[in-house]
A and B are shown apart, each in its own frame.
Chain A
Amino acid sequence: MRDAGPLRIGLKYCGGCKPDYDRLAVVQTIEERLRGAAVFVRSDSRDLDLILVVHGCPTVCADLSAFGGSTIWSVAGPGDAERFIAHVLDRMQGHTQGRTCDLQES
């Protein structure tokens, strides 16, 4: 069980060859909505709670070979982003109430 500080989330993007949406704008929304609950850093940073992989389309082709053993959450559109935000907020709320923080992608 991790301490009560904000989550350290590593951001990993696909290459963005033909994204179906503005990936940077969605990430900005995620960061704003999770301000205080999470900090976002490069995916090659240390001591990460999870990797958030931002795919531009359902092909979800980002190279994840460097993240073996890490907890990975993928989003491939604004809808996924909303689910991710809700999940993190829910889990963080549970954590502050004494429950174990489970960040596995559902």
Chain B
Amino acid sequence: MMTAEQYEQSLRLLNFEVYMFGKRVENVVDDPIIRPSMNAVAKTYEMAQRPEYEDIMTATSHITGKRINRFTHIHQNVGDLVKKSKMGRLMGRATGCCFQRCVGMDALNALSIVTFDIDKKHGTQYNQRFIKYLTFVQENDLTCDGAMTDPKGNRALAPHQQADPDLFLHVVEERADGVVVRGAKAHQTGAVNSHEIIVMPTIAMRAEDKDYAISFALPSDAKGILYIMGRQSCDTRKLESGNLDRGNALFGGHEALVVFDDVFVPWERIFMFKEYEFAGSLVENFASYHRQSYACKVGVGDVLIGAAQTAAEYNGAERASHVKDKIIEMNHLNETLYCGCISCASEGHKEPSGTYVVDKLLANVHKQNVTRFPYEIARLAQDIAGGLMVTMPAEDDFTSPATGKWLNKYYAGNCDVPTMNRMRILRLIENLTLGTAAVGYLTESMHGAGSPQAQRIMISRLANMGEKKRAAQKLSGIEDA
């Protein structure tokens, strides 16, 4: 396994083509806006090395028998699925943000199932290819981006019907040694912190869309791949001196649009090629795993609840009954989220490939809750924090000889607490509820791993209404129930 330092060094060896604010980013690792997101991924390496976390952060490879980072592991039993949920909470609490590495883990696990299923039907060799690739990932402890979301253009049209065929990533040329693909993947979390990018189709497909039914993996700096970084609220605070106004000075996340400008993919890196009838299965398996992955928001919720309690104490309001009740409500919501991600793992089952997959109904129910509860937790945190969270002057004003004395005097709360500590905890709440980290805690909770309606469709499909009706009819005395 790599150390955090080795991981950082490995990124420096990559030749990414990254753009931000209209300019090429020459040094991605040290860029002050991107760097906190690299720190968050590095934390997944650091914690795997520490005895007090290794029971969750590491696993035994079913291929080599070696100890590996759990983020590269294929779930071999229900215990692995449960530990994945626990790892999400652990990492969310350690970083207070998206640590970006679960998406690659989810892509690997989904492919371990679907490549097996394709081979069974078509007599192909995808699973063998995939296992070889997985071994490479595990042996080198790589971070993988799982790239599913196409730009999608007009949502009413299938991929082949789009005015611009590139709005879904597709094959534009077949060669003896591989294929050439063109298109893009949007909202790619952690893309420029990843060694590899694993591409999957974004929706179920029909025969007309077979050129879009492709899955493959490439080095993230492969020729023709370029990255355009997304903005985050308050992102340029990371360019300012000091660290108070950043809220979380250590960690963050990032998203990027990844453009595939006629990129060559060798056959040995292709795991699905025109088997369109399996696109939906790959999407569904990946989405189910990834909806479980939102256990991370419980860990971030731990941080926000801790911040709200601290703010209440700094304000001298922690004994007020309504404040206590709000903290109870925040914990209730947060632990309800945890119930969902633990239950979908605990009710997991073994697929024919040998990989264990979560209970898909419960995973979708969990993610549906994630689209809602963090918003309410954030609302309560802002309620407890008070308006100063958004009216507070800048760090430079607190250190200025002209204004610092006034700010320290008039923004004091509990006299036992330095004013600056009170400001720090308020800035963290701001960061999590409307700053850079709100991208991960709120809007990513809404749309990441599928927008709310995607889960409702799955809940509708997976809820066994026939059995519910039969139970009701039997109890009511209806014959032949």
* Residues of A near any B CB (own CB < 8 A): 11-18, 23-24, 42-43, 54, 61-63
Residues of B within 8 A of A24 (CB): 52
Q: How far is the CA of A11 from the CA of B53 in the complex (A)?
A: 12
Could you tell me the dominant secondary structure of chain B's interface residues?
A: helix
Q: How far is the CA of A43 from the CA of B79 in the complex (A)?
A: 21
Q: How far is the CA of A11 from the CA of B51 in the complex (A)?
A: 8
Contact B57 A42, beta carbon cutoff 8 Å: no
Lowest 5 CB-CB distances: which A-B pairs, in order?
A15-B56, A17-B86, A15-B55, A13-B52, A17-B90
Q: Count chain A CB atoms within 10 A of each CB in B55, B87, B90 and give the residue with the most.
A: B55
B75 at the interface (CB under 8 A from A): no
Q: Count chain B CB atoms within 10 A of each CB in A23, A61, A62 and give the residue with the most.
A: A61
Q: How far is the CA of A61 from the CA of B89 in the complex (A)?
A: 15
Given A16, A18, A61, A62, which contacts B302 in the complex, CB threshold below 8 Å?
A18
B170 at the interface (CB under 8 A from A): no
Q: How far is the CA of A61 from the CA of B346 in the complex (A)?
A: 13
Contact with A along B286-320 (1 / 0, CB 8 A): 00000000000000001000000000000000000
Given contact pairs A16-B90, A54-B52, a sample of 10 additional A-B residue pairs in the complex whose CB atoms are under 8 Å apart: A12-B55, A13-B51, A15-B55, A16-B53, A17-B90, A18-B86, A18-B89, A23-B52, A61-B86, A63-B55
B83 at the interface (CB under 8 A from A): yes
B54 at the interface (CB under 8 A from A): yes
Contact B55 A13, beta carbon cutoff 8 Å: yes
Contact with A along B79-111 (1 / 0, CB 8 A): 100010011011001000000000000000000
Residues of B within 8 A of A18 (CB): 86, 89-90, 93, 302, 338
Nearest A residue to B52, CB-CB: A13
Residues of A within 8 A of B57 (CB): 15
Nearest A residue to B59, CB-CB: A63
Residues of B within 8 A of A12 (CB): 51, 55
Q: How far is the CA of A63 from the CA of B51 in the complex (A)?
A: 13
Residues of B within 8 A of A14 (CB): 55-56
Q: How far is the CA of A63 from the CA of B55 in the complex (A)?
A: 7
Q: How far is the CA of A16 from the CA of B51 in the complex (A)?
A: 10
Kindly provide the distance from the CB of A52 to the nearest chain B CB, expressed in whole angstroms: 12
Residues of A within 8 A of B55 (CB): 12-16, 62-63
* Residues of B near any A CB (own CB < 8 A): 51-57, 79, 83, 86-87, 89-90, 93, 302, 338
Residues of A within 8 A of B54 (CB): 13, 15
Contact B51 A15, beta carbon cutoff 8 Å: no
Given B90, B93, B302, which contacts A15 in the complex, CB threshold below 8 Å?
B90
9 contacts between A and B (CB under 8 A): A11-B51, A13-B54, A15-B57, A15-B86, A16-B53, A16-B55, A18-B302, A24-B52, A63-B79
Nearest A residue to B335, CB-CB: A18
Known contacts: A15-B83, A17-B56. The answer to whether A42 contacts B89 by CB under 8 A is no
Residues of B within 8 A of A13 (CB): 51-55
Q: How far is the CA of A105 from the CA of B93 in the complex (A)?
A: 33
Given A11, A17, A62, which contacts B89 in the complex, CB threshold below 8 Å?
A17
Kindly provide the distance from the CB of A51 to the nearest chain B CB, expressed in whole angstroms: 12
Residues of B within 8 A of A15 (CB): 53-57, 83, 86-87, 90
Q: How far is the CA of A14 from the CA of B52 in the complex (A)?
A: 7
Kindly provide the distance from the CB of B344 to the nearest chain A CB, expressed in whole angstroms: 16
Q: How far is the CA of A61 from the CA of B87 in the complex (A)?
A: 13
Contact A42 B51, beta carbon cutoff 8 Å: yes
Contact A16 B52, beta carbon cutoff 8 Å: yes
Q: How far is the CA of A77 from the CA of B271 in the complex (A)?
A: 48
Nearest B residue to A55, CB-CB: B55
Kindly provide the distance from the CB of A106 to the nearest chain B CB, expressed in whole angstroms: 25
Q: How far is the CA of A54 from the CA of B53 in the complex (A)?
A: 11
Q: How far is the CA of A42 from the CA of B51 in the complex (A)?
A: 8
